[in-house]
Amino acid sequence: MIKKKITHKRFTIYEIDALSQRMLQRVGLFGDKCDFCNKELPEGVIYIPILHYGCCTECFKEWHEEASYCDREREYEQEKIACLEAWLNYLYIDFETI
Ligand SMILES: [Zn+2]
C-alpha cells in the first residue's frame, strides 16, 4: 500500500511499497536508481512530486532536513501529484493519506 503524507514542512510525499514501485517503474514514472545518490533503489522508495524524484529513504531524510517549501513551486508539485495519482488510478493501485 502506498502512503501519501504531507510533511511538517508542507511537502507532499509518497512512500511506495515494492510491488507498486515495480509497476510505476515499468510505466517510467521513475527509474531504478535513486535520483539523489544514483545508487540502485532499494525495495520501497519515496516519491517527491515537487522534485519529481524517486529516492531512497536516507537521501530523502537528508534532503528534507535542508529543504524549505517554496510556494512558487506549488503548481508544479500539484501537477506531479495529479500525474502520479492518475497512474495509480489507471493501474488500480490504492493509496492511503496519512
Ligand atoms: Zn539515495
pLDDT digits (tens, 9 = 90+) for 3-29: 999 999 999 999 999 999 999 999 988
* Distance in Å, CA 31 to ligand 1 centroid: 12
Residues around ion ligand 1, judged by CB within 5 A, are 34, 36-37, 56, 59
Q: Nearest 5°: CA angle at 21, between 15 and 62? A: 45
**Which is nearest to 84 in space by CA: 57, 51, 62?**
51
Q: Which residues, in sequence order, are CB contacts of 37 under 8 Å at separation 6+?
A: 55, 56, 58, 59
* Distance in Å, CA 45 to ligand 1 centroid: 9
* Distance in Å, CA 76 to ligand 1 centroid: 22
Q: What are phi and psi of 58, to 5 degrees?
A: -60, -45
Question: What confidence tens digit (pLDDT) does each residue in 30-85 have?
Answer: 889 999 999 999 999 999 999 999 999 999 999 999 999 999 999 999 999 999 99
